[in-house]
Amino acid sequence: MALFLALLLGHLLGDFVFQPGRLVAAKRHSNRGVLLHTGIVTACTAIVLLGDIARMWPAVLLSGAAHIGIEYLTIRARKMMEASGLELFLLDQALHVVSLVILAVCLGGASRPFIATWPVTITVLAASCGLVAVMFFSSILAFEVRTAALGAADSTPTGPILGMDAARVFGFAERGIALGIGLVAPIPVLGVVAFVPRVVFALTRSSAGRAQHMSDAAIGLLTCALAWLLIVAVSATSL
């Protein structure tokens, strides 16, 4: 579990936190973009496992190799298949997670929970993964769901790309606060209050704007609930 969570945190950082829209577009038509992206993901994974890197470096290298293979596979699928961006996104992430599970099962027997050079508990490692996932992964998921359901407002030759703007930053904070409340409050469901401002704002918008904000709120709430459940489950199994 410790190795899987460390590999997952490195993946989330490299695939979402440190992958700007420009790089997403570049890797869809350039091998250089794929290599740069994979290098970033591998570096993030190495940094997360830095405290145990002397033993865990094979896992870092193999996770990088698996990542680049999956990137080439899903980029090729994007060009050949008549599938929505949402379907391809979910396929891509499912393959990445499965590859990390396989690596953790094969190589993680003696791994210890670290974030960089700091020893942490499994719960802290799981909570870190959960916070990064709900803040950054969820923004892409919400965007892909919205694009599939409502259509993209604009697009590029490589497909619609989510930009970094005030609305996206607000979403980061909204979901991070919601999960944080759920983890520390005596009544986890109180995390729902973080979505109240968006819902109130949505009710003042036109039907199209209302649908967009309600969709984003629903995806945010769903991912926060799933992250909370997984963190609680991981914490229970580590006791």
Domain boundary among 91, 120, 149: 120
pLDDT of residue 203: 92
Inter-residue contact 99 to 211 (CB < 8 Å): no
Verify that 7 and 72 share a domain, yes or no.
Answer: yes
Angle at 217 between CA 91 and CA 145, to 5 degrees: 30
Q: List, in order, residues 6 or more apart from 111 with CB less than 8 Å away.
A: 2, 3, 6, 52, 55, 56, 59, 104
Nearest C-alpha neighbor of 19 from the set 48, 39, 46, 5: 39
Verify that 112 and 183 share a domain, yes or no.
Answer: no
User: DSSP assignment, residue 157?
Assistant: T
Verify that 217 and 111 share a domain, yes or no.
Answer: no
Verify that 63 and 135 share a domain, yes or no.
Answer: no
Tokens of 209: 């704007």
pLDDT of residue 34: 92
Verify that 179 and 116 share a domain, yes or no.
Answer: no
pLDDT of residue 80: 80
Verify that 32 and 66 share a domain, yes or no.
Answer: yes
Domain boundary among 85, 101, 120: 120
Q: In a 10 Å sphere around its CB, with 0-12 CB exposed, 13-18 middle and 19+ buried, how is residue 37 labelled? A: buried
Verify that 237 and 170 share a domain, yes or no.
Answer: yes
Tokens of 94: 């499912």
Verify that 105 and 176 share a domain, yes or no.
Answer: no
pLDDT of residue 153: 53
pLDDT of residue 147: 87
Verify that 71 and 126 share a domain, yes or no.
Answer: no
Verify that 147 and 110 share a domain, yes or no.
Answer: no
pLDDT of residue 152: 58
Q: How many domains does the chain have?
A: 2
pTM of the model: 0.92
* Domain encompassing residue 37: 1-120
> Which parts of the chain have pLDDT scores under 50?
157-158
pLDDT of residue 185: 92
- In this structure, what are the phi and psi dihedrals at residue 186, rounded to the nearest 5 degrees? -65, -25
